[in-house]
Structure 1
């Protein structure tokens, strides 16, 4: 069993003066939801997600060793970095990066020895209502781990990816599920070998052909900022009247998905995934203070999906993040007819008729 201290390095064997790396990391969509956390970004329940392919963050990291002459200067004990978004300075992102670096310094003790230039961009539209924290923190974690690998070339590939996932978690919990693909579990579960609260792991069991190349079309119902941040939402689970039952339910649903992924039962898959989405929002609506992140058009889309599925028997379903947008999930073999249904009946409920076609992907990639 891993502990966080396993990721604190001993002395490095090599030195690096300067360089640059570039990694992309995708977003992911949880099927069993993570909602509620303990200290240090530890999840209150296990979750499982599809890693996406097209919605991703691409981050370039340039680094230069800081002048040794400043070691007596107070600025030497600070992090030194510039942050660019789509090539332009982005000052309002810097506090989140500062907090991330503070959290991970114990695991990457070289951080204050370098000046970093972080240049990041998303393949999906900014302010599209798609959370970029998971893909963004995962991409940054991959770059920083790539630098650590230069300092310690003997590092194993397994350690590299586990530690990258662990670091990403400290920036954004769900980011730990964006390092690998195609199906990733985060959180201890008795029947998921190797599962951990510290990092995400690739789903270790057999996956039926029905779930290969699974499609996710994201309907952009509301592209504005959420009224309630996910951080606040997670905190509201601490005194939630239904929290314990919800955490037990997540374990049970993940247990059922193990068999469903193996036998390919799409009807049972749909029941769990849609129930999980509605349960997530039910937790928000029954917390104190309570809040509603779904919009009227979210409900219109859900009802239209149910009507279409009943009429056609095509196994299409929805899931939701902590927001108003709808992820439409369906097998690759039904892609043509489902996309036609989306264009005919659902895009009218999207802001500016916008939607994004995505599918299961394999995780972070170095360029």
Structure 2
């Protein structure tokens, strides 16, 4: 018997081995050209929460997103997810309409993509409410590629798979969120304008025109996947940091060699890269590691013991008021406020001092979570 109402919450994730390009014939099903590797973030402070209920009194599927009604039929990816889940559910449920209420608690200013958490939450809720046999990760992927990784906690691999139907193109957990608890993730949010090129369009342009893509797909990614797996297993932050930054730099280089050229990073982004490299050089080893997606925001990896000094150093260069901090751990925030920066780490790059739009902190998170009826967004 299906559960007639389901509520879930899903996190965002950040990839350190990137998904950039779909394999031949994989555009509709979102089948990537290479494997990718990510860290799932905590659902606190930011997440997508979705409630779904099956109803007989609706003429069509209904979606209320952040308080506004959306047209499901005009959103092909949502329609694909719904079509697939109905193809894998019991016959008596196939014709039921679904009422969906979904909300993100991302501040608008964060400029962070909510598609990963959004489609993951939707997929997880639909699988349960329709009593479907579908794999949550695979179903989420049909909405947004990176969403498949948010289904699981810890360090997650999205396998590109080989089958044309995408049945082996799923995410699996490499290690759970408790394996490396010292690992922390920061996100420095910068003021970014509207992208001239969406990531969906950009990655396909790169695949077709960048001379760096063939080697990346043939050998680079598989070598990095192997090396970073060993680093994670050994909890070797130095090795992990070097791979993460090399991978991020490669994505920037690929965008620069794409025709026409793609530009996601801003002057602020490049300043952060210089700052992290200079800081690590002065420390004598990698203490911070950066990665960028298709945007200006900088994600940073850092061990918990190094976080107070690292954030204090960031504040020397990007002085940001405390009300713009969104931290999962209040104790860490207190340690940061009490931390001082050694003189040699002050003013280590020449760049105008300006605040972040916000600074986020998260430990490694636990993936999608089913909530109680009392937490539903739908009043029956």
Deviations 1:153-198 (A, max 9, x none): xx7xxxx7xx0000000000111100011000011599xxxxx852
The alignment partner of 1:113 has SS state of coil
Question: What TM-score does the superposition give when structure 2 sets the normalisation length?
Answer: 0.77
Matches of 1:333 and 1:237, distance apart in 2? 38
Matches of 1:106 and 1:223, distance apart in 2? 41
Partner of 1:60: 51
Partner of 1:285: 256
Shift of 1:361: 0.2
Deviations 1:23-44 (A, max 9, x none): 0110000011111112121111
Mean alpha-carbon deviation: is it higher for 135-144 or for 90-99? Answer: 90-99
Partner of 1:200: 171
Shift of 1:227: 2.0
Partner of 1:353: 357
Which consecutive residues of structure 2, in runs of 5 or more, have no partner in the other structure?
321-352, 372-380
Contact 1:220–1:351 at 8 Å: present in 2 too?
no
Structure 1 residues 207 and 258, CA gap change in structure 2 (3 angstroms): farther
Partner of 2:342: none
Shift of 1:213: 4.1
Structure 1 residues 119 and 167, CA gap change in structure 2 (3 angstroms): same
Shift of 1:86: 2.7
Matches of 1:365 and 1:121, distance apart in 2? 15
Q: 1:82 aligns with which of 59, 62, 76?
A: 62
Q: 2:231 aligns with which of 248, 251, 260?
A: 260
Matches of 1:270 and 1:93, distance apart in 2? 43
Q: 2:97 aligns with which of 90, 106, 115?
A: 115
Contact 1:27–1:178 at 8 Å: present in 2 too?
yes
Matches of 1:50 and 1:350, distance apart in 2? 28
1:7-18 equivalences in 2 (<5 Å): 14=1
Matches of 1:148 and 1:199, distance apart in 2? 20
Higher helix share: 1
Contact 2:161–2:170 at 8 Å: present in 1 too?
no
Mean alpha-carbon deviation: is it higher for 92-101 or for 286-295? Answer: 92-101
Which consecutive residues of structure 1, in runs of 5 or more, have no partner in the other structure?
1-13, 68-74, 191-195
Partner of 2:79: 98
Deviations 1:62-118 (A, max 9, x none): 221358xxxxxxx7xxxx222222333245996252354346554458676122222
Matches of 2:212 and 2:168, distance apart in 1? 22
1:184 aligns with 2:169: no
Structure 1 residues 358 and 30, CA gap change in structure 2 (3 angstroms): same
Deviations 1:340-365 (A, max 9, x none): 22333235677763222222101001
Partner of 1:295: 266
Partner of 1:341: 313
1:95-244 equivalences in 2 (<5 Å): 95=75, 96-102=77-83, 105-108=86-89, 113-126=95-108, 128-149=110-131, 163-187=135-159, 197-203=168-174, 211-240=180-209, 241-244=211-214
Shift of 1:21: 1.1
Q: 1:321 aligns with which of 268, 293, 297?
A: 293
Matches of 2:80 and 2:19, distance apart in 1? 22
The alignment partner of 1:41 has SS state of coil
Matches of 1:310 and 1:65, distance apart in 2? 63
Deviations 1:207-260 (A, max 9, x none): 996x32421111111344322112102222442332220112111100101211
Matches of 1:167 and 1:353, distance apart in 2? 34
The alignment partner of 2:125 has SS state of helix
Contact 2:202–2:262 at 8 Å: present in 1 too?
no
Count of residues in Structure 1 that have an aligned counterpart in Structure 2: 325
How much is the aligned-residue C-alpha RMSD, in angstroms? Answer: 3.0
Matches of 2:147 and 2:252, distance apart in 1? 21
